[in-house]
Structure 1
Amino acid sequence: MRATGACVHRRGKRLIGPVDLVLEGAGLTALIGPNGAGKSTLLKAMHGLERLSMGRIKWACGAAQAQRAQAFVFQTPVMLRRSVLDNLAYPLRLHGTPREAARAAGVEWCERIGLAGMEGRQATVLSGGEKQKLALARALICAPQLLFLDEPSASLDGRATREIEALLRLATQAGTRIVMATHDMGQARRLAREVVFLRSGKVHEHAPAAEFFDAPSTDAAAAFLAGDIVD
């Protein structure tokens, strides 16, 4: 993915941009930065959920083909008003998988995410951690080449966070490229191959994770990692 001069404006206010960014290779990229830096907006722009005001985002393949190979999980999981199993089978059915095969895959994923025995439960009554795991599994069940995540473990307890991170590690090992916005620096250290540090809607620093966390190249990034207030 290559973003060139990408900008998003809303009601005359610049949310991000201009952003020049190249993401390539495997693994997980963590988008970090202070509140209001533009992490969620950049994720949505890359996935096509936010219309660019200026600039462009280009993929190695056509835009339509790229869109079909992607998935997005929101910070607040969106549950279909259906059973857990139907939520998991739904994207497979959209891709033309026969009903029985889709439901069988859904049962297998219920086991993977610790929801075995809950296949018939309404997804909307699950706990926050259960909903987040279900949303992640629903995104991964079609084996996307690229997965966008917006704060996947925000407001979750330690156990649920560990379960989410285990799923993300398995996904990257299986070949899914992940771009994740997170406010949790511990999570970014544990999972990220590279880091994009956003500030005021722009890419302030982009580096391999180990290099960024050990020796950030800008004063703003160093202050942010030290817990100082960075606007």
Structure 2
Amino acid sequence: MVAKLETDSLTRVVDGERIVDAVSLSVHESNVLAVIGSSGAGKSSFLRLLNRLDEPTDGTVYLEGTDYREIEPQELRQRVGFVPQDPALRPGTVRENVGVGDRIRDEPIDDERVRRLLERLQLPGYEDRSVDDLSGGERQRVAIARTLYVDPEVLLLDEPTSHLDTETESKIERLLEELIQTDNLTCVLVTHDTSQAERLGDRVAEFDGGAVVAEGTPEEVIA
């Protein structure tokens, strides 16, 4: 069976340093790969390569068996959505942020889609709220809605709960689990929290020095 997302010797070298070093991993459809490791291990750098936010020095990524260099970058980033650690919301309303892709293309925002997404993410009626008035957890949910708005097949999550309190973290995790299951999303989750990797990951890859040093089930890797 062809993996939904697969990396083949994926490598990125910056100033002579191999920050991602010949990584070969695969993620099957509707599965979650949790990526763990210490700070500076290359986790976030690896994630950014998966939809060409950064370019690999060597190796490549396959999306359903197709080399992602054969896919137009705009199409690739629609199919492989990225939720950054910092939501990086733009000044304006929640609606404007969720539909920012349409705004950039000078197309009308699908208000009904925005409404449904916000309801799913437990933000009903937030369309006209200023993003300046949102809590950390609300901002993260708006960032997730913004990515889901374009209906991605793969969701890349970079430390999605790292700056949140325990209660809000649990709420975001439950929402992510529900979204992944309901929408059959394939997910790559970068986290510093091994317990979160155990809770959410179908498989876990541990990074050190830009390379994968362990890969398997959560029980195999984290134990």
Match of 1:140 among 148, 161, 164: 148
Q: Bigger radius of gyration, 1 or 2?
A: 1
2:48 matched residue in structure 1: 44
CA RMSD of aligned residues (A): 2.1
* 1:69 pairs with 2:73: no
Partner amino acid for 2:78? R
Say if 2:11 is the partner of 1:11.
no
Contact 1:86 1:103 in 2 (8 A): no
Residue matched to 2:197: 188
1:47-84 per-position Cα deviation (integer Å, ceiling 9, x unaligned): 21111112222332343354431110110111122201
Query: How many Å apart are 1:26 and its aligned residue?
Result: 2.2
Q: 5 Å matches for 1:75-94?
A: 75-91=85-101
Q: In the TM superposition, what are the counterparts of 1:75-114 in structure 2 within 5 Å?
A: 75-91=85-101, 99=109, 102-114=110-122
Give the letter aligned to residue 214 of structure 2: E
Match of 2:137 in 1: 129
For structure 1, which runs of at least 5 residues remain unmatched after alignment? 215-231
Separation (CA, whole Å) in 1 of partners of 2:28 and 2:117: 28
* Partner Cα separation in structure 1 for residue 104 and residue 56 of structure 2: 28
TM-score normalised over the length of structure 1: 0.83
Q: Percent identity?
A: 30
1:152-201 CA distance string (max 9 Å, x none): 00010122112211221122112111101001112111111000111110
Residues 32-56 of structure 1, C-alpha deviation per residue, up to 9 Å, x if partnerless? 0111110000000112111111222
**Structure 1 110/2 Cα, relative in aligned 2: closer, same or farther at 3 Å?**
closer
Q: Which residue of the other structure, out of 192, 200, 210, is the alignment partner of 2:219?
A: 210
Question: Equivalents in 2 of 1:110, 1:39: separation in Å?
Answer: 29
- Is residue 164 from structure 1 mapped to residue 172 from structure 2 by the alignment? yes
How many equivalent pairs are there? 212
